[in-house]
């Protein structure tokens, strides 16, 4: 395990799920709260702040991005693509050993869109490996693919090792379960509990969900990984109806997911309270 790790976007959904990451951490975010040890406020594009945050770090977990799937081209060009190039240049200058990058299932998202709703059911026969043809469903997906390829270029030309995690669906602290998205739609008045829209959201999440403890395990194992300089892993839990392969992560990383969306049969009592 690297002794000091910079986490960009540290106070977002994924970053807060990684609170238990071992070792010394520098927590960089545009909304870094005051008084938190190791927290630095700033954007990746703020190069002076970035270099300050990166000082003495052996690893980076790069989460900062424009996260919305419907982000405009201008948003992803600035926050996802240009920022990645800035980060990689700084990492090479500082001698950072490895980067773990929060990529996304939306790099292959067209497969899902073409197979709704059967892809959310068990027995659909679809399983995408890391070598599946890239089929982004949005500018966001495109930007993450470009991030992966930039990372590969640097990893294969003397830069830090680079490991992309194509994350499925991870929810905020307090909502770490596959009913979270459907309940969010319910609160927004977009569906009723148990109607077709609600049930479709639940089925999708039971296939795509990545629990917090499985996310923490994956990132930790990527920070310890001694495999090729560049690699790609899918970030989902051991979901029965998943269409994203985790066998490769099992083999290469020793990933042992603890959770399965199919085991959640009802809305958590904490939601109903």
- CA atoms of 222 and 269, how far apart (whole Å): 34
User: How many CA atoms lie less than 13 Å away from 200 in the CB half-sphere?
Assistant: 10
What are the residue numbers of the active site?
140
DSSP 3-state assignment of 169?
strand
Q: What contacts 40, CB < 8 A, 6 or more positions away?
A: 26, 27, 28, 29, 32, 49, 52, 53
Element (H, E) at 252: helix 247-253
Query: Can you state the angle between helices 196-208 and 180-187, rounded to 10 degrees?
Result: 150
> What is the side-by-side order of every strand in the sheet holding 161-167?
39-41, 24-29, 4-8, 59-62, 98-104, 161-167, 230-235
């Amino acid at each position: 395990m690297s002794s000091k790790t910079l986490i960009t976007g540290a106070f977002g959904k994924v970053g807060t799920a990684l609170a238990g990451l071992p070792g010394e951490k520098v927590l960089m975010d545009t909304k870094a709260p005051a008084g938190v040890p190791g927290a630095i406020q700033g954007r990746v594009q703020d190069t002076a702040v970035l270099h300050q945050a990166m000082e003495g770090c052996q690893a980076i977990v790069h989460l900062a991005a424009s996260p919305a799937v419907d982000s405009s081209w201008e948003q992803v060009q600035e926050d996802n693509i240009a920022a990645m190039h800035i980060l990689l240049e700084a990492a090479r200058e500082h001698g950072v050993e490895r980067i773990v990058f929060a990529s996304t299932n939306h790099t292959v998202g067209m497969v899902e869109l073409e197979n709704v709703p059967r892809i959310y059911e068990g027995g659909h026969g679809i399983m995408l490996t890391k070598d599946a043809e890239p089929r982004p469903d949005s500018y966001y997906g495109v930007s993450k693919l470009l991030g992966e390829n930039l990372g590969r270029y640097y990893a294969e030309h003397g830069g830090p090792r680079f490991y992309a995690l194509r994350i499925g669906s991870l929810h905020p602290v307090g909502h770490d379960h596959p009913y979270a998205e459907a309940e969010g739609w319910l609160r927004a008045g977009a569906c009723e509990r148990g109607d077709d829209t609600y049930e479709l959201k639940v089925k999708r999440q039971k296939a795509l969900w990545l629990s917090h403890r499985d996310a923490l395990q994956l990132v930790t194992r990527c920070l310890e990984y001694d495999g090729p300089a560049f690699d790609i892993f899918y970030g989902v839990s051991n979901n029965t109806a998943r269409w994203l392969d985790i066998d490769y992560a099992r083999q290469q990383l020793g990933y042992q997911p603890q959770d399965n969306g199919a085991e959640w049969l009802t809305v958590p009592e904490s939601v109903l309270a």
